[in-house]
Homo-oligomer: A and B are copies of this chain.
């Protein structure tokens, strides 16, 4: 099967980051692209990892934290103790995400008010000019 691959600039332009950023993620051990000679070759799995890292970034996660979340997916957890601690981790992450959603909703509410006030002010201006 002809597995799709990506160059570093493919991914950089797809995600709107610089190649420096992607190399930096590799330095930090977040991704491990193959090499063909000198050049880095990225797999679809690498691509997804980058995507998830950037998703984490958008909601204010550190790189370390994003990777922590991503690594929840791969099942290197066998025994009961590990599974339980994993469940706890999941619940903590979830709690924080729910708090973030609340924060966002509050802020959205504020923006709605501001916009309404603006539109009313514009409207008033127009009326008074007639």
A interface residues with partner B (beta carbon < 8 Å) = 55-61, 69, 72-73, 75, 77, 80, 83-84, 86-87, 90-91, 93-94, 97-101, 103-104, 106-108, 110-111, 114-115, 117-119, 121-122, 125
List the B side residues contacting A122 at CB < 8 Å. Answer: 80, 83-84
How many monomers of this protein are in the complex?
2
Partner of A69, one of B56, B90, B107, B117: B107
List the B side residues contacting A84 at CB < 8 Å. Answer: 122
Contact A103 B73 (CB under 8 A): no
Contact B107 A59 (CB under 8 A): yes
Contact B69 A104 (CB under 8 A): no
Chain B: minimal CB distance from A84 (Å):
7
